[in-house]
Amino acid sequence: MSYVVWFKELRKDSIPTAGGKGANIGEMLTLHLPVPNGFAVTAQTYGEYLEKTKIQPKILKLLENLNVEDTDKLQSVAQKIQDLIVSTPMPQNMVEEIMYTYEMLGSEKQKASDLVEPKEVFVAVRSSATAEDLPEASFAGQQATFLNVKGKENVVTAVLACWASLFTARAIYYRVKNNFDHSKVLISALVQKMVNAEKSGIMFTVNPSTNHADEIVIEAIYGLGELIVGGEVNPDFYLVDKKTRDIKKIEVRKKDYGLFRNDKGENEKKLIPKDKQERQVLNEKQIKELARLGKKLEDHYGKPQDIEWAVEKEEVFIVQTRAVTTFKAHTIERPDIADETGKILLKGETASAGVYAGPVRIVHDPSELHKIQKGDILVTPMTTPDMVPAMQRAGAIVTNEGGMTCHAAIVSREMGTPCIVGTQHATDLLKDGEIITVHATRGIVYEGKIEIAATAEQKIEEALPQSGADLVTATEIKVIMDLPDFASKTAATGADGVGLVRLEIMIANGSIHPAEYVRQKREEDYVHLLKEGIRKIAKAFVHKPVWIRCSDMRSDEYRNLQGGDKEPHETDPMIGWHGIRRLLDEPKILRAEFQAVKELHDEGFDNIGIMLPFIIRTEELKKAKEMMREVGLEPCKEIDFGIMVETPAACWIIEDICKEGISFVSFGTNDLTQLTLGIDRNNERLAHLFSEMHPAVLGEIAKVIQTCKKYKVKTSICGQAGSKPEMAEFLVRQGVDSISANADAVEQIRHTVAKAEKKLLLDAERKR
Ligand code: PEP
Ligand code: MG
């Protein structure tokens, strides 16, 4: 028997040999889509490994009578089995065939008769379980993937590690809960060449800024695609007619840098040679070819696709494809320009459609943000998160840099503010105070105020999160929100409440640091600012819970606010003076925040609850509760009073916290994962290791939910992971009470939860 199968021999029905992911690759190849080449180490190879090494009985023995609800025991058995697999070598003939095939992959020769010149290439080694992606039991995303693997020994080790990942605590738990026989689930390991991207980019099969379904948008840069998302490089922009594949627009931008993989598998930022910087990245043939592939993917999956692609040696590869986030086309009327007789000053890309005329305010640096008055046009090299308040005041936004997925584009679309990105020269060509018209729908900046003809009204499609509130789930689906002015829009998602309001954006809007209000003895102004913001949210979500998190301001993030220069310089602000520890050191800030909530409560907004960030000690909770009482509300009785579980410490002392008395806990998985895994959440280099689905994080969550149930304390999540289906599914199985997602993910999470709940009910029925 052959231990491996080349991808080109796989088909849609190859699940028994190559698992769900392998069969999917087979399907893509049947459609003649260019996926990077590779081979599957078959599921039968794994079966033979278990047999020849005689470890199967040992594994089954360890699993015998295992109570999967006993998290500690489950973790320890899972670890023992994984250790057993990675430390049991494969039979020699298996090792040799995998190594030989890997070398063939490197030398691009795929016939045994070909003379192989050994060449080691970077590959991804992915697990592909044979039960994966079956409608009955979704095992998706549970097993390991290893990127940038190079060297034949390392490939064999990675294959073993994939096999071992069939026995993570989570996988064992799922199989037991779904009545799957452990010995019947096999696993294949897919060894796939990593594209060494000379060029790459993204493609949307629907125009994301206008929602026009007949257009395909492609953005392209040199090197790896990461720099597009960060908005660090201005990508070329190509607009293609989906039907005719005619190229409607080509905009070539200056691309100074590119990210390239070096020999060690690390990404390196390199200067693009001068003569290439302003050259078009893709030629017409490649643009049309990409558009053809995009259309094919959309037709095949029946939904608009968001595609990542890469080019190596002039060959185009599809690296990833997923459905564009659910948006419902909502038609609004906006006045448009009758004809364009004005003088064109600049051209750029439509990040958010609309037309607006007003005065230019150039902001080179966040310290100049105060210049932006309501209705001004913000002109800046590139936006950053602390510009959001100024962006909200702006009537329109024009940037030098960035593409469709950069920060400015995402935020302005969310706010519905006309925005043109990637103009390259806006900050040089425009003058402070000069009146311009931003015709964002067409990506043009005109001199002066252009007459808007009332008769020439054009319908522009605006993306609004779709409301699927008619789907009833036992687990409440809430939303996370930061911008009070978007409360009604966010409430339109039909969410069951707000699981997290970060006060920081409201504070940044007021442009004074909370500590500065206190220094100036202006706590009342702080209370007023908070009340104004929170009231809008509480009103939009009337009769639904709205959990306000007390301020959690890291010392390095708000230096641009008034008084921000007095913030301490800390070695590591992420684990520094912020959250409850800071609020108790500066109790006047915390008291003002409680006071704002109390006054709103008195106005009748009794749907507001309080959430304490970054708790590590029971005393912190005790002191905060004491202060709430002093302000005039009895915690847990008159007001929902809870904590964020963001530190391993909080998980360990959860029983004491419950005993002290709280209404709810909410998992802040961004920090919890960071602190559990020891991985800085902002470190791009480690992003591939940052996973909320790590068994350690899941173990902590499971333990906390169990304990909270004992004390009738409600559980929730408000970290980014709440917007991920695999986490939502895990939480439903653990019996979480509510899940908070980003506004644009509410719909998807509601469906995931409904499905997971149904499955739980069916399982329970089956066991009766
Ligand atoms: C978290 O840590 O998961 C969280 C929601 O808080 P923040 O992202 O604001 O740190
Ligand atoms: Mg946090």
The sign one gets for the Cα dihedral 100, 103, 108, 113 is negative
Contact (CB, 8 A) for 303 and 323: yes
* Ligand 2 mean position, distance from CA 463 (Å): 29
Q: Three-state DSSP class for 426?
A: helix
Residue 472, amino acid: V
Report whether residue 670 contacts ligand 1, using a CB cutoff of 6 Å.
Answer: yes
Please report the pLDDT score of residue 759 as a whole number: 79
Q: Tell me the ligand closest to 553's alpha carbon.
A: 1
669 CA closest ligand 1 atom index: 3
Q: What is the pTM of this model?
A: 0.51
Determine whether the shortest distance from the Cβ of 579 to ligand 1 is under 6 A.
Answer: no
CA of 637 to the centre of ligand 1 (A): 26
Measure 679 CA to ligand 2 centroid, in angstroms: 14
Residue 131 DSSP SS3: coil
Cβ atoms 606, 641 nearer than 8 A: no
Contact 716, 478 (CB under 8 A): yes
pLDDT at 625: 98
- Mutational pocket test of ligand 1: of 480, 481, 548, 552, the residue with most ligand atoms within 8 Å of the beta carbon: 552
Ligand 1 site, residue 719, Cβ cutoff 6 A: yes
Does any ligand 1 atom lie closer than 6 A to the CB of residue 722?
no
Residue nearest to atom 6 of ligand 1 (CA): 668
What per-residue confidence (pLDDT) applies to 326?
Answer: 38
Q: What does the CA dihedral 255, 200, 745, 758 come to, rounded to 10 degrees?
A: -170
From the CB of 593, is ligand 1 less than 6 Å away? no
Catalytic one among 182, 407, 578, 601?
A: 407
- Please tell me the predicted confidence (pLDDT) of residue 198: 92
Q: Which residues of the chain have pLDDT under 70?
A: 108-118, 131-143, 177-178, 229-231, 323-341, 384-386, 402-411, 413-414, 451-471, 682-685, 763-768
Q: How far is the CA of 614 from the centre of ligand 2 (A)?
A: 7
Using CA positions, which residue lies closest to atom 8 of ligand 1? 670
Helix (H) or strand (E) holding 630: helix 618-631
Distance between CA 34 and CA 307 in Å, rounded? 13
| Sign of the torsion formed by the C-alpha atoms of 678, 729, 320 and 281 | negative
Pocket test for ligand 1, best of 388, 482, 498, 502 (most atoms within 8 A of CB): 502
520 C-alpha to ligand 2 centroid (Å): 28
617-641 as b/e: b if 16+ CB within 10 A? bbebbebbbebbeebebebbeebbb
Ligand nearest to the CA of 549: 1
CA of 216 to the centre of ligand 1 (A): 35
Q: What pLDDT was estimated at residue 320?
A: 74
What is the pLDDT at residue 138?
A: 36
- The pLDDT, as a whole number, for residue 387 is 74
Distance of CA 152 to the CA centre of its chain: 33
What whole-number distance in Å separates Cα of residue 29 and Cα of residue 13? Answer: 13
Best residue for ligand 1 mutational test, from 504, 666, 718 (most atoms within 8 Å of Cβ)? 718
407 is catalytic: yes
| CB-based burial, 371-402: b 16+ in 10 Å, e otherwise | ebeeebbbbbbbbeebbbbbbbbbbbbbbbbb
Distance 671 CA to ligand 2 centre (A): 5
Ligand that lies nearest to the alpha carbon of residue 722, given by its number in the listed order: 1
Q: What is the pLDDT of residue 136?
A: 36
For the record, the structure tokens of 353 come out as: 């459609």
Count other C-beta atoms under 10 Å from residue 213's C-beta: 14
Q: Note the pLDDT tens digit of each residue in 425-473.
A: 999 999 999 999 998 888 899 999 886 443 222 322 333 333 444 567 8
Q: Is 502 in the pocket of ligand 1 (CB under 6 A)?
A: yes
Distance of CA 184 to the CA centre of its chain: 34
Of ligand 1's listed atoms, the one at least distance from the Cα of 504 is: 9
**Any atom of ligand 1 within 6 Å of the Cβ of 400:** no
Spatial neighbors of 108 by CB under 8 A, at least 6 apart, are 37
Task: Give the contacts of 27 (CB within 8 A, at least 6 positions apart).
Answer: 11, 12
User: Ligand 1 atom 1: the closest Cα is on which residue?
Assistant: 668
